[in-house]
Structure formats: structure tokens, C-alpha cells
Amino acid sequence: MIIGIIEDDKLLNQALRLVLQKAGYRITCAHTRQEALSLMGREEDLLLVDIGLPDGNGISLYQELKGRREIPAIFLTARDEEQDMLAAFDTGADDYVVKPFSMKVLLKRIETVLKRNNEKERISYRELLLFPAGKQVFVEGREIRLTAKEYQLLEYLMENQGQVLTKEMILEKIWGLEGQFVVDNTVSVTINRLRKKLEPDAGQSSYIKNVFGLGYRIGDK
């Protein structure tokens, strides 16, 4: 899980980074609105956003970052003002913390927000479970590590359960314009790598099925 910290107080920013890394999270840090716009909004699972930034407002910054993709956020502020709280929640904030705060309490709030968002966005088939918000994959409760392309391909198949996806459809969706330049067996190679990671028995395809002459499918029609 990746957490983005947007906090101009350097000591607090560093303290948050150390505490969250110790808790097992990967961290991206920014001290200003401009830094956040250049570094964040593409892979974070949660943002901690200071409302009062030196070069802008944290609430409007969050709106810009949400324009790239949906990301849950917890706002941090030194002001316990109802107007700020309402404005934060109006932008879709998941929680709001007034400084100074307990790190233990913040960690619990982070766990709660991540769990709530993961439960809202999950795709499953039999013992295979995807959490798109965190780009996590589990088989029989065991987390599976995938490359970016492997994950994107699996998510595409899971989102279209029961439908046959041709190699051409997969190339266009996952590789985009790059698909015109990749070798012909790129899709089948990626499928085989996925199977090795997902299938309990390499000799049988429990999840990803070949549809002869057409493409690939997860699930029945």
C-alpha cells in the first residue's frame, strides 16, 4: 500500500513518513501543492493532505488529484473549524484530523479508510480476489505479486467475466499504442506468467481459460 503525505511542516512530514514506513506502508512525500501535483495522483492508495499549504489550498489540490483517479484522503489541519470540515467532506474526503493528533489514532483511521475503500471496490471469482484501489490480488487468502501488465491484464479479464477477450482487444486495452509494436506472442506469454502465479495446479487452468481460435476468458457465460 502506498500513502502520499502532503504536509509543509518538515518535522511532521518526516515523523509521518517514519511512522507509516514502520507500519509497513510505502510512502511518497510532498511539502507543497506544486510538489504534490508533480509526484502524486497515479499510484497512491491514500492521501494525507494538509489543508494549509504554502502555495495553495489542500482541498482544491485534492480535487485536482482526484481528477487523475479516485483516491481516498484524510485531511490534516491545525484549525478545528466547521467550515473547513464541511469543505473537506464536500470534496469527498474520507476523514479529517485536527493537529496535534495521536499517531496511533491516525494509523487506526488510515486502516479504517483503506479497509472501507477496499471493501467497496473488489472483484472476485471463486478463490480469486482483486482490490483495484490497492492493486492487490489474492488467491485463497494468499497475496500474489504481479507486474503492472500482469495486473492490468488480470483486472481486464475479471471485469469482463464470462466474455471472450481476443488478443487484439487485450493489446489495445493493456498496451495501447505500444500494442502495434510488441511481438505477436506478448499476450500469450503474459497469460502464461499469470497462470503460473495464480493456478494451484500448473497442469490445469482453474481461472484463465483458452477459447480456441478466439482468445481468453475468466468465468462462464
Please determine, for residue 131, whether its predicted confidence score (pLDDT) is greater than 90: no
Query: What domains can be seen in the chain, in order of their start residue?
Result: 2-120 (3.40.50.2300), 123-218 (1.10.10.10)
Please determine, for residue 202, whether its predicted confidence score (pLDDT) is greater than 60: no
Alpha-carbon gap, residue 221 to 204, rounded angstroms:
20
Is residue 72 within 8 Å of residue 26, measured between CB atoms?
no
Q: Mean pLDDT for the chain?
A: 86
Q: What is the mean pLDDT of residues 158-176?
A: 90
Alpha-carbon gap, residue 28 to 22, rounded angstroms:
14
Band of pLDDT at residue 120, cut at 50, 70 and 90: low
> For residue 163, which amino acid is it?
Q
pLDDT in tens, 39-79: 998 888 899 999 989 998 899 999 899 887 778 999 998 87
Is residue 202 within 8 Å of residue 211, measured between CB atoms?
no
Closest CA to 165 of 142, 194, 201, 132: 194
Placement of cell 478463490 in the chain: 127
